[in-house]
């Protein structure tokens, strides 16, 4: 159950080409970045070489492409390169450009995929934090486009694209992994309708545009320099854009994105909504000096996973999943605990054996999250290296940390500890087995 770690680029790599809207020559360079850095654009052609975060709060315009701005500094058409980075499993990168827009290439994200492969990937020392969406998140623009994200144990994108008068109605649906992204999504080229693009061409606003970097639909005719790469290439490109635009929320997600008539406007609106929902979820976490959580389980969620009930349910909340093998829970120790009247009356102390049980319940949550283990019960096999360092008293908030160190079929081993105010109060190594109820 090794956790999935963050990745950056193993080296820097550059790509030269023409920007779509200005027709200028541009060099784009991808560079490694430290853990937790995310994606940042850098305009190396400007004084002080300013950075712009790939963040939905920086979105300024979404007409025909997604534009980010920091003050007067802008970067246009960012969705393809971000999509490639996300799709290929990169978490942290610096994207340097000597113009305000990346090279358009052939209108797909394939050139950026090849650039990422040229640079290589480097595993980092921090577990990748992925937000598992637990409740449906819905956006209805009222103008046709609809985006809904429903809970799923994978990242999946389903897109239905409908053009004017019902033209080029297409559908595409797939989970998103680096292998699938490279073969099934990245090659899909951008497309446009002739009636939309002709006024822009007449005004000289798409100086780098040609049939070599976009597919143009004129009436029922599809104009392209080469045959269509997929029979639903337009829907696949919409999925490509969705992946890039949604990442502007700042979090990778587990969930099924269902998009009807998506575009950069609706996509970035959903990214804003995702960022808001994530912030709301995080506010559920107690104001303690504890690691930031990527998901929250309240007492009702916990009771769906664990068979324990009062007075032996010793977790009030789960506040952190780090990868697949680390979990942090909370137990609010109150004076009304059923064990205090009989455990050192007049000087109540939480029994050490119950702290060990709290550790076991936290570790069990991790094992029972695995689909094939759901509905089972965990039983102790052994407890080793248990140490009690400080007393746990009424009013304390017990932070329980568990890390699965070994998992073989239904046998698991975990290293656990309990903390109060950031100080370890107990710790131990647990071994237990799962059995059917």
What is the CATH classification number for the domain harbouring 33?
3.30.230.20
Residue whose structure tokens are 């541009």: 26
Contacts of 149 (CB under 8 A, 6+ apart): 133, 136, 137, 138, 253, 255, 256, 257, 258, 270, 274
Whether 95 is covered by a domain: the verdict is yes
Same domain, 273 and 181: yes
Whether 289 is covered by a domain: the verdict is no
Same domain, 117 and 66: yes
- Residue 375's φ and ψ, nearest 5 degrees, are 90, -5
How high is the mean pLDDT in each 10-residue block of the chain (437 residues)?
A: 77 91 86 96 95 95 84 92 98 96 92 98 92 93 94 96 79 97 96 66 52 72 84 95 97 96 95 92 51 65 87 91 87 92 89 95 86 78 94 94 88 94 94 82
Overall number of domains in the chain: 2
Whether 291 is covered by a domain: the verdict is no
Same domain, 271 and 372: no
Whether 231 is covered by a domain: the verdict is yes
Last residue of a domain, one of 234, 256, 282: 282
CA distance 58 to 171: 31
Same domain, 199 and 115: yes
Buried b (16+ CB within 10 A) or exposed e, 270-296: bbebbbebbeebeeebeeeebeebbbb
Task: Kindly report the CATH number assigned to the domain that includes residue 383.
Answer: 3.10.129.10
**What pLDDT is recorded for position 285?**
46
**What pLDDT is recorded for position 150?**
96
Whether 391 is covered by a domain: the verdict is yes
Same domain, 222 and 129: yes
Same domain, 271 and 310: no
Contacts of 46 (CB under 8 A, 6+ apart): 73
Whether 292 is covered by a domain: the verdict is no
Same domain, 320 and 259: no
Query: Torsion angle of alpha carbons 189, 193, 196, 197, nearest 10°?
Result: 50
Count of beta carbons in the 10 Å neighbourhood of residue 110: 20
Q: Which residues belong to the active site?
A: 264, 343
Same domain, 416 and 278: no
**What pLDDT is recorded for position 30?**
98
**What pLDDT is recorded for position 13?**
97
Same domain, 54 and 154: yes
Last residue of a domain, one of 235, 250, 282: 282
Whether 240 is covered by a domain: the verdict is yes
**What pLDDT is recorded for position 289?**
39
Whether 27 is covered by a domain: the verdict is yes
The answer to whether 392 and 349 have CB atoms below 8 angstroms apart is: yes
Same domain, 194 and 278: yes
Same domain, 243 and 331: no
CA distance 372 to 409: 10
Count of residues making up the chain: 437
Contacts of 429 (CB under 8 A, 6+ apart): 383, 384, 385, 386, 413, 414, 415, 416
CA distance 328 to 42: 36
Last residue of a domain, one of 256, 282, 308: 282
3-state helix vs strand vs coil in the chain, percent to 5? 25, 35, 40
Same domain, 272 and 307: no
**What pLDDT is recorded for position 295?**
58
Give the range of the structural domain holding residue 387, as residue numbers without chain letter: 299-436
């Amino acid at each position: 159950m090794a956790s999935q770690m963050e990745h950056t680029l193993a080296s820097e790599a550059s790509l030269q080409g023409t920007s779509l809207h200005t027709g200028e020559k541009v060099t784009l360079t991808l560079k490694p970045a430290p853990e937790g850095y995310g994606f940042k654009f850098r305009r190396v052609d400007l004084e002080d070489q300013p950075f712009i975060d790939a963040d939905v709060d920086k979105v300024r315009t979404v007409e025909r492409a997604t534009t980010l701005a920091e003050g007067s500094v802008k970067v246009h058409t960012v969705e393809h390169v971000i999509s490639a980075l996300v799709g290929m499993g990169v978490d942290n990168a610096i994207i340097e450009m000597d113009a305000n827009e990346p090279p358009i290439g052939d209108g797909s994200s394939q050139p950026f995929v090849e650039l990422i492969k040229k640079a290589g990937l480097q595993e980092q020392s921090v577990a990748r934090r992925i937000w598992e969406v637990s409740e449906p998140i819905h956006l209805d623009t009222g103008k046709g486009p609809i985006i809904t994200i429903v809970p799923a144990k994978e990242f999946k994108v389903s897109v239905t694209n409908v053009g004017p008068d019902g033209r080029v109605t297409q559908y595409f649906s797939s989970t998103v992994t680096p292998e699938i992204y490279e073969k099934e999504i990245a090659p899909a080229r951008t497309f446009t309708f002739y009636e939309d693009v002709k006024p822009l061409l007449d005004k000289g606003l798409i100086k780098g545009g040609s049939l070599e970097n976009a597919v143009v639909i004129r009436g029922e005719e599809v104009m392209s320099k080469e045959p269509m790469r997929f029979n639903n290439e337009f829907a696949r490109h919409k999925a490509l854009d969705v992946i890039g635009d949604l990442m502007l929320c700042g979090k990778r997600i587990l969930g099924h994105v269902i998009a009807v008539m998506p575009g950069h406007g609706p996509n970035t609106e959903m990214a804003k909504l995702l960022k808001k929902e994530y912030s709301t979820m995080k506010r559920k976490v107690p104001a303690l000096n504890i690691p930031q959580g990527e998901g929250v389980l309240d007492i009702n969620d916990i009771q769906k996973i664990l068979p324990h009930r009062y007075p032996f349910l010793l977790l009030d909340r789960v506040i952190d999943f780090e990868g697949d093998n680390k979990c942090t829970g909370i137990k609010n120790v109150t004076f009304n605990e059923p064990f205090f009247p009989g455990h050192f009356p007049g000087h109540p102390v939480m029994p050490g054996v119950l702290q060990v049980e709290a550790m076991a319940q936290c570790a069990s949550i991790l094992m029972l999250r695995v689909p094939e283990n759901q509905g089972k019960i965990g039983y102790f096999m052994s407890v080793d290296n248990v140490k009690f360092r400080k007393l746990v008293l009424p009013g304390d908030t017990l932070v329980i940390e568990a890390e699965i160190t070994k998992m073989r079929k239904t046998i698991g081993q975990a290293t656990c500890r309990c903390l109060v105010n950031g100080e370890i109060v107990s710790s131990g190594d647990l071994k237990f087995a799962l059995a059917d109820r």
